[in-house]
């Protein structure tokens, strides 16, 4: 591209940037300045000097005002969308941190459950061994007096409660994962709307 065309193109880009920054208040200020200059011309050369020019100036100012109104609305919408994206990104980070924390807690619960289950199984095994030994020595009736079935039942109840707790924790994780996926989906939709050319 020749140098002079590059300069013209650069000036057009600068002009577009200025238009993007123009507000309705700026348009009113410009109209006021133009009005003052027209009054000076009228004082020097009479009203006929600006009669044919004023309709064009007014039309240009009205067009500029409409552009400024649209620009303010678009800027407001853009700021709102950026705010939503920022919030969604923060939510995504927060959900990821919560999920990581939740998974660690679940691992700790599972580890505790495995340890307690192992301990209970060992206890049941010892009770069974003791039961067999006592059965050989004293008979079945005497074994019932030494080894309480209630203790075995209580241990089984504890094991069942641990299993229920583990299932509850897993259900909560599934719910959190679903919410996290929905949040991520919402954020991707907003990003595609704002920046359709950016791959996600």
Q: Write down the pLDDT at residue 153.
A: 52
Higher-confidence residue of 183 and 147: namely 183
Residue boundaries of the structural domains of the chain: 3-116
Give the DSSP letter string of the chain: --HHHHHHHHHHHHHHHHHHH--HHHHHHHHHHHHHHHHHHHHHH-THHHHTTHHHHHHHHHHHHHHHHHHHHHHHHHHHHHHHHHHHHHHHHHHHHHHHHHHHHHHHHHHHHHHHHHHHHHHHHHHHHHHHHHHHHT-HHHHHHHS-HHHHHHHHHHHHHHHHHHHHHHHHHHHHHHHHHHHHHHHHHHHHHH-TTS--
User: What local confidence, expressed as pLDDT, does residue 199 receive?
Assistant: 54
List the single range of 6-10, 56-60, 158-162, 188-192 with lowest mean pLDDT.
6-10
Per-residue pLDDT tens for 48-96? 888 888 899 999 999 999 999 998 898 889 999 989 888 888 888 988 8
Q: What is the pLDDT of residue 1?
A: 45
User: pLDDT tens, 102-131?
Assistant: 888 888 888 888 887 788 777 777 877 877
């Amino acid at each position: 591209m020749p140098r002079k065309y590059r300069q013209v193109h650069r000036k057009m880009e600068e002009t577009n940037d200025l238009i993007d920054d123009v507000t309705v208040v700026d348009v009113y200020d410009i109209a006021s300045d133009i009005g003052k200059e027209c009054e000076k011309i009228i004082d020097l050369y009479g009203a006929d000097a600006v009669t044919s020019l004023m309709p064009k100036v007014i039309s240009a100012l009205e067009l500029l005002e409409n552009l400024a109104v649209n620009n303010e609305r678009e800027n407001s919408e853009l700021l709102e969308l950026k705010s939503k994206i920022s919030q969604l990104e923060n939510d995504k980070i927060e959900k990821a941190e919560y999920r990581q924390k939740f998974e660690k807690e679940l691992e700790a619960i599972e580890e505790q459950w495995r340890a307690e289950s192992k301990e209970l199984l060992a206890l049941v095994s010892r009770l069974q061994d003791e039961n067999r030994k006592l059965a050989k020595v004293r008979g079945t009736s005497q074994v019932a007096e030494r080894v309480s079935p209630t203790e075995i039942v209580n241990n089984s109840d504890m094991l069942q409660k641990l299993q229920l707790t583990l299932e509850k924790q897993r259900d909560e994780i599934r719910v959190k994962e679903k919410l996290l996926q929905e949040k991520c989906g919402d954020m991707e939709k907003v990003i595609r709307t704002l920046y359709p050319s950016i791959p996600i």
